[in-house]
Amino acid sequence: MHIHAYEKLWLAFAVILILLLIGSVTYGAVGPGVAMVADSEDQIDPGALDEDERFAEPRVEQVGDNHYAAYVIAYQFAFEPSPIVVPENSRVTLYVTSRDVIHGFEVAGTNANTMVVPGEVSEITVEVGEPQEYGLLCNEYCGAGHHGMEGKVHVVSEEEYANLNEGGETA
Partner 1 sequence: MSRTETARTSVDDAGGDDEFDPVGTLALIAVYFAILVLAWVYIYYIEFLGRDLVVVG
| Residues in Cβ contact with 92 at an 8 Å cutoff, skipping those fewer than 6 apart | 60, 67, 68, 69, 70, 86, 125, 126, 127, 128
Q: How far is the CB of 148 from partner 1 (least distance, A)?
A: 23
Report the sign of the C-alpha dihedral through residues 161, 163, 165, 167, in that order: negative
Nearer to partner 1, 125 or 165 (CB): 125
Candidates 166, 57, 131; CA nearest to 70 is 57
Considering Cα of 146, then 147, then 151, then 155, what sign does the dihedral take? positive
Closest approach, Cβ 53 to partner 1, in A, equals 21
Please, what is the minimum distance in Å from the beta carbon of residue 125 to partner 1? 3
30 versus 144: smaller Cβ distance to partner 1? 30
Closest distance of CB 128 from partner 1, Å: 7
Binding site for partner 1 (CB under 8 A): 2, 4-6, 9-10, 13, 17, 20-21, 24-25, 28, 32-37, 91, 93, 107, 109-113, 123-129, 132, 134
